[in-house]
Amino acid sequence: MKKGRFIVFEGLDGSGKSTQILEVAKELRRRGEKVWLTAEPTVSPTGSYIRTILAESLEKDMYLQGALFLADRIEHNTDPEDGILKHLKDGETVICDRYYYSSFAYQGTGSDLNWLMQMNLSCSQIAKPDLCIFLDVDPLTCKNRIDRDREKAELYEHDIMLMEKIRNKFFHVFACLKDKENIVVVDANMEMNEVTKEILKNV
């Protein structure tokens, strides 16, 4: 069924994903590809509830958070009008800002990683990405950018130690998935243009 390419961007908060996604999409469109940009959490009712939890730094159980992100992801895939599966079937290149790797790294720091992985990876309604690009930026740089650019830090943006832990969890997860998924780590501490070039080499 799937015809388009599915590319996911991951990274810590403040790693520059949004900027790089726009640059990469611009280049792929210039090359004639039809590109659909999307993100998690989504704008669905579940996604909006998650956004409230994040924005207000509500202390919700990590299993509950994992389940909410999972539900949001299933809806994100299966929405018949505007879902990931529909856009892939139409032959579009889908670029998604965050996906299940974020659940593994963020919720995996406070719940059962095996449970999270099993729920997401064994679900037939959740498409497997063709490529995951991880933008690796030093957590201190990310934290400084967040403090500089955002009015108010969100749930996972307050604590540099937690950000370090999440980065380590990402690398642990990538090691677990290395034979099953196509994951590329890009050093995103470089100049913006250099980072874009590096990403495009892999895309």
Torsion sign over Cα 181, 187, 188, 192: negative
User: Which residue in 6, 9, 134, 156 binds ligand TMP (CB under 6 A)?
Assistant: 156
Task: Find the angle CA(23)-CA(149)-CA(174) to the nearest 5 degrees.
Answer: 55
Query: Taking the complex as a whole, how short is the minimal distance between the CB of residue 4 and ligand TMP, in angstroms?
Result: 21
Number of neighbouring beta carbons within 10 Å of residue 37: 14
Asked if 6 interacts with ligand TMP (CB under 6 A), we say: no
3-state secondary structure of 46: helix
Cβ nearer to ligand TMP, comparing 3 with 168? 168
Query: Taking the complex as a whole, how short is the minimal distance between the CB of residue 28 and ligand TMP, in angstroms?
Result: 21
Binding pattern for the stretch 26-65 against ligand TMP, x by CB under 6 A and - elsewhere: --------------xx------------x-----------
Query: Taking the complex as a whole, how short is the minimal distance between the CB of residue 163 and ligand TMP, in angstroms?
Result: 10
Give the C-alpha distances (Å, rounded to integers) separating 195 from 24, 97, 139, 188, 190.
10, 16, 17, 6, 6
Note the residues at the interface with ligand TMP (CB under 6 A): 13, 40-41, 54, 69, 98, 102-103, 106-107, 154, 156
